[in-house]
Amino acid sequence: MVWFLALLFYLPAWRLKAKSQNLKSNLLTERQTKILYSAVQEYIKTAKPIASVSLVKKCKLGFSPATIRNEFAELEDRGFLEQPHTSGGRVPTSKAYRYFVDGLLLSIKKERQKLDNLEKMVKLFVNSEHFNRRLVKSLANASNNMAMGWINNDADDEFHFAGIKNLLRAPEFESIEYSAKVGDILDRIDDEIEDFVREEKDFSENAKIYIGNEMPIRGAKDFSLIISSIPSRWGDLRIAIFGPQRMDYERNLQLLNSVKRLLE
């Protein structure tokens, strides 16, 4: 919750920087932001549509169910939420995740969370011959998503991925459509991601996040990808976490930042 409180402090300044009409149209009130963020966090945890009554009970926002229903309706009209079934709750859209992540990035820069288990693992195999492979496996286990790693050096390119079982265990996998998408993506992910990473030059010092239609992989609009670039002794190292849009962005960003601190 520290990052959430920090967000509320930085949000007004961030709003002033919105220059385009498109950005301005995405701005929410403080109450709408609290409700949307709580809905996103709850959906990340449960993968179940969020109802106003359950949000009141679980998140203790201080708003009545009627107020949350009204704000839900406004957020749905503005494209931040959608209602899969007429009588059911709401789920976040790609637009909601992007709003959530942009706010998260503002605050997470001010924090430094130490992830002991992952850091111990990285220190153990940092000099290993199979460093990239072991790093990717550790990231997949820690994130409960799929992880990927590329090392580009003068000799060769090295690519590894791990954590397919994590994608298959996701609640979304109960959907036949989701299962088919995962299978199709996995058939070509190594080629498409390698080509993208090789061609993409705009990897700054901060992790870059792709959500929904921003994804560089065909047919992956229901997924998200976080990529971090790290200069290392082995060459240009890029590590990524891939999973449903419902992934835990806060934890995954902290995992990548933790690895980056250890290797720089």
pLDDT in tens, the chain (264 residues): 544 444 444 444 434 343 333 444 568 999 999 999 999 999 999 999 999 999 998 888 889 999 999 999 999 999 999 998 877 789 999 999 999 999 887 665 544 555 656 666 666 666 666 778 888 998 999 999 999 988 877 667 788 889 999 988 888 777 777 778 888 888 888 788 777 776 665 555 678 899 999 998 888 888 999 998 887 777 778 889 999 999 999 989 988 888 887 777
Selected from 3.40.30.10, 3.30.450.40, 3.40.50.12500, 3.40.50.720, the CATH number assigned to the domain covering 116-263 reads 3.30.450.40
CA distances (Å), origin 214, targets 38, 139, 170, 208: 23, 23, 22, 11
Q: What is the token pair recorded at 44?
A: 């990340």
Q: What is the Cα gyration radius of the chain?
A: 19
Phi then psi for residue 133, to 5 deg, are -65, -45
CA distances (Å), origin 107, targets 2, 81, 255: 8, 23, 16
d(Cα 105, Cα 56) in Å, to the nearest integer?
26
DSSP string, 29-50: -HHHHHHHHHHHHHHHHH-SPB
Classify domain 2-108 by CATH architecture: Orthogonal Bundle (1.10)
pLDDT in tens, 79-91: 999 998 877 789 9
Give Cα 206 to chain centroid, integer Å: 14
Domain boundaries, the chain: 2-108, 116-263
Q: Do the domains 2-108 and 116-263 sit in the same CATH topology, yes or no? A: no
